[in-house]
């Protein structure tokens, strides 16, 4: 009889690639694999599956933010099923192995292929298993079993593939910025002796690049067996090696033939090599890229985020992308710990509006971005920016582990914020309470930040959207009625009363209740400010029916709409006959609404 392993992870609409590759490894070793994704940190379904299937092993991918609930559950699991061997892997257990090992039989650090193989073959001692000394070829992911359990993932038009692990950059908000010494403190000498630092030059995840052939074969299987319209390459940075990309560009259009989206750095989009890279991507079927800006101020990017790139590079790179017809998503972090840099910068809401203004000016000058995505900073422990936040007084105390943070970056900020710019001396002055926002002032900025993040990608479509955003945010009336009224007045040179009447008439067929009618009629000018507003209205009504008429629900609807209809273009609008249209300067595409 085959031994069984049950893999678990937090639920996501994106398939858990790490688990699927590990599942492929277990499958190839002769194990029966099973999967269960946990929603809202509630483990009853997972436990029911354990009771029904009685697996020999339970492996879980753990992230900071869901680790405490998982640890509690593993304690209950071990009490009821002491013979089941438990395995933890993933980012949190890799960077906090000394803590994770208190809650599981095995903790696999870094990539995990070699460690899992040793565990399943009975070759590993219980405890922490350090990164492998040699790269392990990526197993073929166990998609067939996973999609049979989660058919919505299988039917998604967008599938994910990863071509490599590791990242050459060290952005301070990422765990890849941590030093090996930070990660290994607290481990036993026996485990430390097994570390091969020659393969881990200053970071935990070494490069492991798949062959073009392996990536192509995986994509062929996806297109052949599942309704796949697009591939999203989940690499932190795609296309680092030009020779790899050259082979990929020759083969992908002929052998796979569908479009794809990837993540890249601005440094890779400029100059002769950048243009060569973008041309290769375009010829290979790339339809768009995700590029992170994170902060508008170059001093903040350089000193605090370790993203040293001049403003000119961002504009040049964006123009190079839009000139090739690529659809661009930018990423930015709001609510950063501003105010301690060597030169003065804007702080708090001023800094958040500044990053919105940069996106507005980019679109005016280059035609991109097509979606401006924003998150709120989360000070993950042991990242360099998490340590910075503590050292300068923005969060917690030195030595604290920030286990109270959420497992999402779409919540309100947990930081404290300064009243004014202070400078590097903040490190010594951080205990002076008069420097910090407190009480009502602090709560007001946290609310302002959340509201800006909710509407960031719509505001980026408005004329002088940063000026509108400041007016809306400071007014402090965060209702659908107020939002629609203000957009109506702001965009009156573009959206006529007649346009609005026609739009409301068109979407009336989707309205079922008075509350739906009230929401959509109030929001009509807001919805009409982005491409394909009729489709957006329909999506919002669907979301609101299930989750309520909230700003966060509206935000989710807009973001997903722009993904599907604009950036990824896996959905086609049902009606393009309306006279009102949004044309993006410099873009190869104009959007008829």
Q: Which residue has the higher pLDDT, 572 or 190?
A: 572
Reported as half-sphere exposure (CB side, CA atoms, 13 A), residue 475 has a value of: 14
What are the pLDDT digits (tens) for 139-181? 999 999 999 999 999 999 999 999 988 788 888 888 776 666 6
Q: What is the pLDDT of residue 192?
A: 67
Cα–chain center distance at 505: 36
Domains (ranges, CATH) in the chain? 4-135 (3.40.50.280), 478-592 (no CATH)
Q: What is the pLDDT of residue 66?
A: 84
Using a pLDDT cut of 90, give the percent of the chain over it.
Answer: 77
What are the pLDDT digits (tens) for 268-291? 999 999 999 999 999 999 999 999
Contact between 161 and 231 (Cβ < 8 Å)? yes
CA–CA dist 7, 32 (Å, integer)? 11
* Neighbouring residues of 103: CB distance < 8 A, sequence distance ≥ 6: 70, 71, 74, 75, 86, 88
What are the pLDDT digits (tens) for 328-379? 999 999 999 999 999 999 999 999 999 999 999 999 999 999 999 999 998 8
CA Rg, the chain, in Å? 25
Please confirm whether the linkage preceding 194 is cis (ω < 30° from 0): no
What are the pLDDT digits (tens) for 426-469? 999 999 999 999 999 999 999 999 999 999 999 999 999 999 99
| pLDDT of 55 higher than 80 | yes
* pTM, rounded to two decimals: 0.92
Phi-psi map region of 495: left, alpha, beta (phi>0 left; psi -120 to 50 alpha): beta
CA–CA dist 340, 423 (Å, integer)? 4
What average pLDDT does this structure show over 300-324? 96
State the residue for tokens 């069984």. 4
Kindly report the length of the chain.
Answer: 593
Window from 80-84, 88-92, 232-236, 303-307 with minimum mean pLDDT: 88-92
Pairing of strands 164-165, 208-209: antiparallel
Q: Which residue has the higher pLDDT, 209 or 313?
A: 313
What are the pLDDT digits (tens) for 210-247? 999 999 999 999 999 999 999 999 999 999 999 999 99
What average pLDDT does this structure show over 43-66? 94
Q: What is the pLDDT of residue 380?
A: 84
């Amino acid at each position: 009889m085959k031994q069984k392993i049950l893999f678990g992870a937090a639920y996501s609409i994106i398939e858990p690639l790490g688990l699927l590759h590990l599942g492929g490894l277990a499958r190839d070793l002769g194990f029966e694999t099973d999967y269960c994704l946990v929603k809202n940190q509630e483990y009853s379904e997972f436990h029911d599956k354990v009771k029904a299937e009685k697996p020999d092993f339970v492996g879980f991918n753990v992230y900071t933010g869901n680790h405490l609930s998982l640890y509690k559950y593993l304690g209950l699991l071990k009490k009821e099923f002491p013979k089941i061997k438990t395995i933890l892997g993933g980012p949190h257990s890799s960077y906090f192995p000394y803590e994770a090992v208190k809650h599981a039989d095995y903790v696999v650090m870094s990539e995990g292929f070699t460690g899992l193989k040793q565990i399943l073959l009975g070759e590993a001692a219980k405890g922490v298993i350090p990164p492998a000394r040699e790269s392990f070829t990526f197993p073929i992911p166990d998609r067939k079993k996973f999609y049979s359990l989660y058919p919505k993932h299988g039917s998604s038009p967008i599938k994910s593939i990863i071509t490599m692990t590791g990242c050459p950059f060290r952005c301070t908000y990422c765990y890849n910025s941590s030093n090996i010494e930070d990660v290994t403190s607290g481990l036993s000498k026996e485990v430390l002796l097994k570390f091969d630092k020659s393969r881990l030059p200053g970071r935990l995840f070494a490069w492991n690049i798949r062959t073009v052939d392996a990536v192509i074969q995986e994509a062929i299987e996806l297109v052949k067996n599942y309704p796949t319209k697009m591939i999203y390459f989940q690499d932190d940075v795609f296309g680092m090696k030009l020779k790899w990309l050259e082979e990929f560009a020759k083969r992908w259009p002929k052998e796979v033939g569908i479009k794809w989206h990837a993540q890249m750095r601005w440094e890779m989009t400029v100059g002769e090599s950048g243009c060569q890279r973008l041309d290769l991507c375009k010829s290979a079927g790339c339809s768009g890229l995700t590029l992170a800006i994170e902060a508008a101020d170059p001093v903040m990017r350089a000193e605090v985020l370790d993203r040293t790139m001049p403003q000119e590079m961002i504009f040049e790179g964006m123009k190079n992308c839009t000139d090739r017809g690529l659809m661009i998503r930018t990423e930015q972090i709001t609510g950063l710990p501003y105010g301690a840099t060597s030169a003065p910068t804007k702080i708090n809401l001023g800094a958040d509006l500044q990053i919105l203004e940069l996106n507005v000016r980019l679109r005016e000058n280059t035609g991109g971005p097509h979606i401006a995505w924003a998150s709120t900073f989360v000070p993950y422990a042991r990242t360099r920016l998490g340590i910075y936040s503590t050292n300068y007084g923005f969060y917690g105390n030195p030595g604290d582990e920030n286990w109270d943070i959420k497992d999402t970056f779409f919540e309100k900020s947990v930081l404290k914020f300064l009243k004014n710019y202070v400078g590097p001396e903040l490190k010594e002055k951080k205990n002076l309470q008069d420097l910090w926002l407190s009480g009502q002032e602090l709560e007001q900025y946290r609310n302002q930040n959340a509201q800006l993040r909710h509407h960031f990608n719509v505001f980026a479509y408005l004329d002088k959207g940063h000026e509108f955003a400041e007016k809306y945010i400071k007014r402090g009336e965060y209702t659908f009625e107020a939002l629609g009224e203000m957009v109506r007045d702001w965009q009156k040179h573009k959206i006529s009363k007649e346009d609005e009447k026609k739009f409301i008439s068109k979407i009336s067929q989707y309205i079922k209740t008075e509350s739906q009618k009230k929401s959509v009629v109030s929001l009509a000018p807001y919805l009409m400010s982005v491409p394909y507003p009729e489709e957006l209205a329909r999506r919002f009504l669907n979301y609101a029916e299930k989750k309520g008429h909230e700003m966060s629900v509206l935000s989710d609807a807009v973001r997903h709409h722009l993904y599907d209809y604009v950036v990824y273009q896996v959905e086609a609008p049902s009606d393009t006959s309306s006279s009102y249209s949004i044309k993006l300067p410099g873009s190869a595409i104009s959007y008829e609404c």
